[in-house]
């Protein structure tokens, strides 16, 4: 089995061939022409070619080039075929390529490499029927925040609990929920604070403690920022 990450230079032309694994070609410098199942395009830095398992492909290289090659990505189901072989990369993905290249010397079994490759699930349009693993991890992280919102919180601890790095977990939340884990937790705590304000006469200090917010001042600041009304005014309006 080839390493998950390689850097190679394509030379001249090659006979059409296929692999029993998925492959992504990401030019780092130079330009080459790639042909996948008779779909042909010139690719250079800022572009990628996604080659599904058993798709026949070949190349034509008329100039010097260096390409980052990703083989058999864990996040790409080998049974799902890519219908769009050529894609443009966004700015975030292009900035990520030098880091991926730096992992070549490391064992392809290392946790760091696995986490780096898993992040591509959110940076590249990897063809998948459904991102089940991502859904499961997001559900688990949300469940922990929903049911343990009053406890001290750490992004690193939450990420480790679902076997992701902090940056991967943050990307997952932003992609699916349009907010960071911290913002999600704050909203959960504030919803609980509203419940306490509606149903009790407890002090703001007491409510802050019960909802995991550091103190009454922090509760007032966050509540006002999110709901555009102070906790005191919110409670007072309920009785009018």
- Secondary structure (DSSP) of 2-47: --SEEEE---EE---B--SS-EEEEEEESEEEEEETTEEEEEETTE
Chain centroid to CA 18: how far?
Answer: 29
For residue 80, the enclosing domain spans 5-123
Q: How many residues are there in the chain?
A: 240
pTM for the model stands at 0.54
pLDDT of residue 106: 62
On whether both 214 and 108 belong to a single domain, the answer is no
Angle at 72 between CA 69 and CA 74, to 5 degrees: 120
On whether both 111 and 197 belong to a single domain, the answer is no
On whether both 169 and 199 belong to a single domain, the answer is no
Lowest mean pLDDT among 17-26, 102-111, 151-160, 191-200: 102-111
Over residues 49-91, the pLDDT tens digits come to 999 888 899 999 999 999 999 988 877 766 667 778 999 999 9
What total of structural domains would you count in the chain? 3
On whether both 110 and 17 belong to a single domain, the answer is yes
On whether both 168 and 211 belong to a single domain, the answer is no
CATH code for the domain of 84:
2.60.120.10
Q: Is 143 exposed, middle or buried (0-12, 13-18, 19+ CB in 10 A)?
A: exposed
On whether both 12 and 119 belong to a single domain, the answer is yes
On whether both 166 and 88 belong to a single domain, the answer is no
* Average pLDDT of span 24-52: 94
On whether both 17 and 93 belong to a single domain, the answer is yes
Over residues 164-174, the pLDDT tens digits come to 888 888 888 88
CATH code for the domain of 234:
1.10.10.60
On whether both 70 and 164 belong to a single domain, the answer is no
Q: Which residue(s) pair with 69 in the sheet?
A: 6, 25
On whether both 16 and 119 belong to a single domain, the answer is yes
Angle at 68 between CA 66 and CA 71, to 5 degrees: 140
Structure tokens at 33: 């022409």
């Amino acid at each position: 089995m080839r390493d998950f990450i390689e850097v190679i230079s394509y030379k001249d032309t090659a006979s059409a061939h296929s692999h029993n694994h998925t492959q992504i070609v990401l030019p780092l410098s130079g330009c080459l022409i790639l042909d996948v199942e008779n779909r042909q395009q010139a690719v250079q830095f800022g572009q990628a070619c996604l080659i599904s398992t058993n798709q026949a492909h070949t190349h034509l290289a008329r100039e010097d080039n260096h390409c980052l090659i990703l083989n058999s990505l864990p996040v790409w189901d080998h049974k799902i075929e890519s219908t769009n072989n050529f894609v443009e990369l966004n700015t975030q993905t292009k900035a990520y390529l030098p880091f991926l290249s730096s992992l070549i010397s490391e064992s392809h079994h290392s946790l760091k490499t696995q986490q780096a490759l898993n992040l591509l699930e959110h940076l590249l349009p990897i063809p998948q029927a459904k991102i089940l693993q991502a859904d499961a991890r997001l559900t688990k992280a949300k469940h922990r925040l929903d049911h343990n919102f009053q406890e001290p919180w750490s992004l690193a601890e939450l990420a480790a609990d679902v076997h992701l790095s902090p940056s991967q977990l943050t990307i997952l939340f932003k992609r699916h929920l349009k907010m960071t884990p911290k913002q999600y937790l704050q909203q959960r705590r504030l919803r609980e604070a509203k419940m306490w304000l509606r149903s009790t006469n407890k002090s703001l200090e007491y409510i802050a403690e019960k909802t995991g917010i550091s103190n009454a001042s922090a509760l007032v600041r966050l509540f006002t920022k999110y709901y555009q009304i102070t906790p005191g005014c919110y409670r007072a309006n309920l009785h009018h």
